[in-house]
Structure 1
Amino acid sequence: MNYIVVVNGKPEGPYDFEHLKKMNIVAGTFIRKPGMDDYKEAHEFAELRALFGFSYEKTAPQYFASFDQRLLASVIDYFILFLVYILLILLSFAFVKEQGERITFALLFLPVIPVFKFIYGVFAEASVKQGTIGKRLLSIKVTDLKGSRIGVLTSFFRNLAKILSVAPLFFGYLYSFLNKKQQCFHDAAAGTLVIKDRLL
């Protein structure tokens, strides 16, 4: 494994594991491995903690998903749900022959989509992936205020609070423009963040 090390503000390397042992690496030294989008501090690498005896101190997230990223993620999720819904409706037409009944059947279950989106959002954001398909495609995820994975109860409360974010006039979503961490109302209420990886 090769490591790029920031020394005096400049990236140097790549260095192998044995070479790192001879360097003056401290817990706050910025290091990057192949495949990483950005540098991390040395104490964030398990193998370097074992090598140098650093303790792991999780740092609070510094990069937050913007409103347009979150909106696009939601649009992607609803688009996928609508595609699944249309597919199920088309399959149901094999059993429902009358055109009037088909229209009624299609419209009758339309309100199920936001309900399913709510249930899906609760479990997806509390999962290991920490986000729905839309969020994962945009490389953003839901965390607590320290950047850790949230539980199902927190996720449930967060998604329930979205109802208040919608009314009146989507103010709860516009609230994200009023704070540095770009939290919507439901994030502030649930104590959550939507973060992103910094890109070089």
Structure 2
Amino acid sequence: MAPTYILVIKGKPEGPFSVEELKARNIRPGDFVKTPEMDDYKEAQEIAELREILGFKKPALLMQYFGSFDQRLLASVLDWFMLLGVFIIIAFIVVLMFIHNKEQRIVASFSFLGAIPFAKIIYHIIMESSAQQATHGKQMLKIKVVDMQGNRISTGKAISRNLCKIFSVATFFVGYLLAFFNKKQQCLHDMMAGTLVIKDRLF
């Protein structure tokens, strides 16, 4: 079934209209539309299907689209919290069920904790190059990782981005603070990998 869109006309939502009906109404790139599945209205030029059918150009990434430092920080905290919770549960089950020696339990517990940073890197690579383009923490904050043109990043670029975080950390976290000093709010690893973190608004 072809999607239909609610169109904002003179400040009031009207419709739903099919794509052909929108075309007949001479819809403009900046007109606001939404489908029943969408949480909020978007400009017509932001929707891939309408760009393709109506010949709109993909809009440039504007300043208001870039994820802020506090959003990124909170997303990271959420990711750490979720990942730590999962590892604690797994470690608790494994240690109690399969390890009976007290010393071995202690070693196993610390081994699980030591594996968390590596698991987090893999988690970021998989999630940021996926269709969601974001970890669960970023999804909760409605931000995602894209390339410099606003497109989904490849697995290779996700690997590069996350390995480059070593340099952001090695500079005593100054690499993260660089987000305050450039218009696109890029951290050092974003600059090195050619990525952006934007608000989840563009399709």
Aligned-residue offset at 1:108: 2.7
Which residue matches 1:164?
A: 167
Q: CA deviation at 1:22?
A: 4.7
**Secondary structure class of the residue paired with 2:11:** strand
1:118-164 deviations in whole A, cap 9, x for unaligned?
11111111111101111112111100111110001111000000010
The change in CA–CA distance for 1:86 and 1:14 in structure 2 (over 3 A counts) is same
User: Which residue pairs with 2:92 in the alignment?
Assistant: 90
**Alignment length (residue pairs):** 191
Segment of structure 1 superposing worse, 185-194 or 73-82: 73-82
Gaps of 5+ in 1: none
Deviates more, 1:70-79 or 1:17-26: 17-26
SS at match of 1:79: helix
Cα drift, residue 100 of structure 1: 2.8
Percent identical: 43
CA–CA separation in structure 2 for the residues paired with 1:60 and 1:163: 30
Instruction: Tell me how far 1:80 sits from its aligned partner.
Output: 1.5
1:1-200 correspondence runs (5 A): 1-5=4-8, 10-17=10-17, 20-26=22-28, 28-33=29-34, 34=36, 35-42=38-45, 44=47, 46=49, 50=53, 54-62=54-62, 63-91=65-93, 92-197=95-200
Q: Is the 8 A contact 1:25 1:42 kept in 2?
A: no
Q: TM-score, normalised by structure 2?
A: 0.83
- Cα 1:124–1:16 change in 2 (3 A) is closer
Tell which deviates more after alignment, 35-44 or 172-181. Answer: 35-44
Aligned AA for 1:136? Answer: Q
Task: Choose between structure 1 and 2: higher helix proportion.
Answer: 2
Listed as ranges, the gaps of 5+ residues in structure 2 are none
Report if the CA contact (8 A) 2:51-2:58 is conserved: no
Contact 1:42-1:49 within 8 A present in 2 as well: no
TM-score by length of 1: 0.84
Q: What CA distance in whole angstroms lies between the structure 2 residues aligned with 1:132 and 1:68? A: 16
